[in-house]
Amino acid sequence: MSEQPKPTVLYEEHIRAGARMTPFGPWLLPCHFAGILPEHKATRTQAGLFDTCHMGEIGFAGPGALPTLERVFTRSVESIPPGAARYGFLTMEEGTVVDDCVLYVMPDDFAPPTFMLCINAGDINKVLAWLRTHAEPETVIEDLSSVTGKIDIQGPAARDIFHTLLGREISLKRFEFTFVEAAGVTLMVSRSGYTGEDGYECFSMGGGVVSLWQRLLEAGQPAGLVPCGLGARDTLRIEASLPLYGHELSDTITPLEAGFDWALCWEKPFLGRDALLAQKTAGPSRRIVPFQMAGRAPARMGYPVLADGREIGVVTSGTYLPSLEGAGGLCLIQSEWAREGQSVDILIREQHHKAVICARPLYQKEES
Amino acid sequence: MSNIPEDLRYTKQHEWIRCDGREAVMGITDFAQSQLGEIIYVELPEADRSCVAEESIATVESVKAASDIYTPITGKIIAVNEAAADDPSLVNTQPYGDGWLVKFQVDQPEQLDALLSPEAYAAIAKE
């Protein structure tokens, strides 16, 4: 039984704007509008608007919610003040990743739920089932995905454009969030994103996403805001060296291998901690690192990485990177080769092509 | 509606070929470039090598994917378009003009008769 890919509530908007649509897991989303290159460039220089309604949102409430989350989420939950969010992982006992996610701690007057977990779009049911298996008693876990819409606005002009629509400025530190009324809708607005740019992620539990999308595009048009698809979302996040579950994270890759020691709270017994501690002590035998191609041929997911005449790993994500005006990506390779400046070869159609291992991120915004 | 010039022949893999006596030039169609999206890399064969019909001789890559290019006919490659290798966007903007890929010396001109007419190609150049 095959299911048709599901469109989001913004489908009609995308079709009207001439988007080329593409399946992404169970979803039907824009791959691009005007083109991946102009959308990527617009997000880096002005602002881009992204339909992220497909992502999952899970609410936690009840006395069991905090102990459940302390057990399944790798960051310290009790240290997160209400109105703040943290990026971390759900890991298995073996230390490998169920999903990467952001946990939001709700201010008292917006609970229930007390906590909201924003997870990847790829397999919401898998993560939900896993969470329910590991829930402490008296935990209410609610899948809010189908009632929660989300739009990301990202880029140097993003916040100003949002403030123009809002009619006032809001002041948040990175990974802080607040609730506002905009375009007639209550939004949870978080200063965060997946592009390496400043900007907001806007969650709506009360509908109004279509109106918000239209009003943001209108408000942002003078400042160069454009709608962006998954194509640009991918090139942007690879440049920022951010992982994508199924590529740099999976049920066979650990957060340590992916470079996220800082997102693991060693002081509490989260699920997978002991396995990860053993891996940390021994040192992970392989690591995710960024690379840049010396030549023009792009290396793509699955292409072998070689050094010293033998295979040392594999490309996990790779493409043309517009800000670098060249090809690059991320790879999972044996740790002894995972050093900045290390020369490697990548096999592309049976030919060796030179690449160099880089520090993360591949693209760094210049501090102004 | 993609552009399908009347004076060319076409393949099921969305290549076009123009024959002029014993020489031919090929590229990818307007439909192909539009399906691929922004082309960011073109890999061409060495000039001066022979090839057989339906052999993969080049690669055209968009941001999202790589696409193999097949020679429609048997012959000898006599020139490749370095301008397209330098500026892959030519394949998007001028697929039948400055975005050409390979020139051949044709061994068997009758092979072109087996290729698709513009009408036959129009029938398959659909989303």
pLDDT (tens digit, 9 = 90+) per residue, B67-115? 999 998 999 999 999 999 999 999 999 999 999 999 999 988 888 889 9
Q: Do B61 and A320 touch (CB under 8 A)?
A: yes
Q: Do B63 and A31 touch (CB under 8 A)?
A: no
Mutate to test the interface with B, among A36, A315, A324 (most CBs of B within 10 A): A36
Enumerate the residues of chain B whose CB falls inside 8 A of the CB of residue A297: 41, 43, 61
Q: Give the chain A residue nearest B60 (alpha carbons).
A: A297
Q: For residue B1, is pLDDT > 80? A: no
Interface ipTM: 0.92
* Among the ranges given (A241-245, A272-276, B17-21, B119-123), the one the predictor scored with the smallest mean pLDDT: B17-21
Phi, psi for B69 (deg, rounded to 5) = -115, 130
Enumerate the residues of chain B whose CB falls inside 8 A of the CB of residue A36: 37-38, 63-64
Q: Do A320 and B63 touch (CB under 8 A)?
A: yes
**Closest in A35, A296, A297 to B38, CB measured:** A35
Residue in A347, A338, A339, A263 with CA at minimum distance from that of residue A311:
A347
Helix axes A209-220, A158-166, angle to 10 degrees: 110
Q: Do B43 and A327 touch (CB under 8 A)?
A: no
Enumerate the residues of chain B whose CB falls inside 8 A of the CB of residue A349: 59
Per-residue pLDDT of chain A (368 residues; tens, 9 = 90+): 567 999 999 999 999 999 999 999 999 999 999 999 999 999 999 999 999 999 999 999 999 999 999 999 999 999 999 999 999 999 999 999 999 999 999 998 887 899 999 999 999 999 999 999 999 999 999 999 999 999 999 999 999 999 999 999 999 999 999 999 988 889 999 999 999 999 999 999 989 999 999 999 999 999 999 999 999 999 999 999 999 999 999 999 999 999 999 999 999 999 999 999 999 999 999 999 999 999 999 999 999 999 999 999 999 999 999 999 999 999 999 999 999 999 999 999 999 999 999 999 999 877 54
What is the least distance, in Å, from the CA of B18 to any CA of chain A? 28
The predicted structure's pLDDT at residue A2: 61
Q: What is the pTM for the complete model shown?
A: 0.96
